[in-house]
Amino acid sequence: ESLGLALESHYAAYGHGLFPVLRVTLSDPDALRAAIARIEADSFDIPEYELNGQAYWKIDDAETGLAAWFAIVDDHLAMGLAPAARENEYLPTLLAQSRPSKSVEDSGALVELVAQKAYTPYGAGYLDTAAVADELLNADSVTLAYLGEVADGEFAWDAGAMDPVCRQEFELMTRVVPRLVTGATELGADVVALRYEIELSPMLARALPRLVSD
């Protein structure tokens, strides 16, 4: 509670490309601001900036070229990690000043997943392996465009130099295992139940039951 959070908080975790974003609703935004002020007073300064009237904090790392951004946007905390050099492109979306070109909400994929798997409304998510592969193999992807700014560092990745056979293997794996999914099947005073699934291509799924051993 001293951080302005509550057990009833809603949260969303997703990728901006392959860079993580987390949003958590706050029960008391002023309590979080006070907590950050206490950290600054006791430990270290967290520089505060402003974009179009929206305040945010940034912690960057010169060695990796990455930065972590934090902001209290209306009633929620937004946190993200991305190359510091792409701040002008990255921040407007993180701070809810512009919408992404496509989003999970627009696709309806989560609503469909909950209905398909009979999950409860208390949490669901998925990892789209084809989307991950595209972010690593497509030179025009958000991830590789952003990493171009730190290409000489530890995150260097040259998609154009990849052997065609390796590229085909990546794409084949995404067809064999198209998604990893998870969801809450039960939530009560005495039990929390989550289910994790590796979805397989129909051909592989039909073959696996025949692999029987005493």
Q: Which amino acid is at 32?
A: L
Could you give the CA distance from residue 178 to residue 127 in angstroms, rounded to a whole number? 9
The whole-number pLDDT of residue 153 equals: 54
Q: What is the pLDDT of residues 107-140, one digit of tens each?
A: 899 999 999 999 999 999 999 999 999 998 888 8
What values do phi and psi take at 117, rounded to 5?
-95, 0
The whole-number pLDDT of residue 177 equals: 94
Q: What is the pLDDT of residues 157-196, one digit of tens each?
A: 677 777 889 888 988 999 999 999 999 999 999 999 999 9
Whether the model pTM is above 0.95: no
Strands of 26-169, DSSP E:
48-51, 54-61, 66-73, 76-83, 124-128
Could you give the CA distance from residue 135 to residue 130 in angstroms, rounded to a whole number? 9
Could you give the CA distance from residue 174 to residue 129 in angstroms, rounded to a whole number? 5
Terminal Cα distance for the chain, rounded: 54
Determine the 3-state secondary structure of 98 from DSSP: coil
> What stretch of H or E contains 181?
strand 179-187
